[in-house]
Amino acid sequence: MFKKKNAIVRTRKYGKLIRFSVIIAVVAVIAGLAAYGWQQHEDKKYPEGTEKDYSLPNAFIEFAGLINDFFAQMQENEPEDIFVPKNDDEEEDNIIVVGGDPENPVNSEPEEEVEPEIRGGIVPKGENAALYDFRTSLFVGDYFVAQAESLGYFDYGRFAHTTGLDMNTLLTKKVMKTETENMTLSDYVGTFENVDAVYVLISAESISWMDCPTFVKKYTVFIDEIIASQPEAHIYIQPILPINEEKAKKRGYSVTNEKINDINEYLYAMAEERSIWILDMAGEFAGNDGELPPEYTTNGIRLEKDTYVLWSDYIISHKAHK
């Protein structure tokens, strides 16, 4: 099909060349004859030895040259064939596409691949972030978060916390007061604007009487509500930090580090399933025996004021989002 079109294109092109050549030849002959006739006229008009006027024949010759140059330039500017075969014997069609398909560009530069944003997993240690970088972060939790705010940590950040509740009542009690209504803590999280990170920080105090499966189930519901409240934000969760069992028993707490470790295993798995970040900091607070050193805590569970430095330093050096 395309070979026939190639032949037609070549025939048309050669026909144009022939016509141009004939026109050039005719013009050259006419100009030559006119110049020759005028020269003969001048030779008879003037006696031998006198100066003759050849300006007119020269003009005819120059005119013929201009015509020749004009057609030569038109021939140079003639567009090339649209269909150019590689070889007359080849059966494969050879097409040069003029313009191209914008949806399927030919020889276009490959688009730069944008790496997808990574979310979830254990946060690796990096360079220390500036405190001002936490201005769009929201710290959510129980007494642990309330104490951090009262001590002045992360002044640029925002806080949402409540005390005196376990994980069961944390889901149901409308203890967060706004100008128009009372809300649960997770619903209250949704009232904050321009939040790019939510840090969920729950302590062993919120375990209370619950067994491991019950606590994990309710904690998971709480996290899902937080995600729904701030769907665009990076979610960070902190594992339950170890306690000092001896001090805790004296204050009436029945929770143990064994139970905390079992819960944390579920929390790590839950974080992976939901593509949220986990701050692997429990080891920062555990002594050689796996317990919270007695000098780090007031009642076996709550941290001493100075111990919060370990926590804040870890947060600053483990910031996954930009």
Order of strands across the sheet with 121-122? 121-122, 277-278, 234-237, 197-201, 137-141, 158-161
Sign, Cα dihedral of 264, 267, 272, 273: positive
Within a 10 A sphere around the Cβ of 18, how many other Cβ atoms? Answer: 10
**Residue 94 to residue 84: CA distance in whole angstroms:** 6
In this structure, are residues 67 and 96 in contact, taking their beta carbons and an 8 Å threshold? no
pLDDT value for 124: 95
Q: List the beta bridge partners of residue 103.
A: none
**Residue 148 to residue 159: CA distance in whole angstroms:** 9
Both tokens assigned to 299: 């009642």
In this structure, are residues 230 and 189 in contact, taking their beta carbons and an 8 Å threshold? yes
pLDDT value for 292: 97
Alpha helices (H) along 114-209: 143-150, 167-172, 185-189
pLDDT value for 65: 64
The C-alpha angle with vertex 157 and arms to 151 and 159, in degrees rounded to 5, equals 70
Counting as low any pLDDT under 50, the low residues of the chain are 1-9, 11, 79-85, 90, 92, 95-98
Q: List the beta bridge partners of residue 198.
A: 138, 235
Cα 278 versus chain centre, distance: 23
pLDDT tens digits for range 43-58: 665 555 555 555 655 6
pLDDT value for 83: 44
pLDDT value for 273: 94
Q: Which residue has the tokens 């929201």?
A: 138
In this structure, are residues 189 and 199 in contact, taking their beta carbons and an 8 Å threshold? no
pLDDT value for 164: 87
Class of domain 121-317 (CATH, top level): alpha beta
Collapsed DSSP state (helix, strand, coil) of residue 61? helix
Within a 10 A sphere around the Cβ of 184, how many other Cβ atoms? Answer: 18
pLDDT value for 30: 75
In this structure, are residues 240 and 281 in contact, taking their beta carbons and an 8 Å threshold? no
pLDDT value for 82: 43
pLDDT value for 42: 60
In this structure, are residues 296 and 307 in contact, taking their beta carbons and an 8 Å threshold? yes
pLDDT value for 213: 93
Domain limits, CATH 3.40.50.1110, in the chain: 121-317
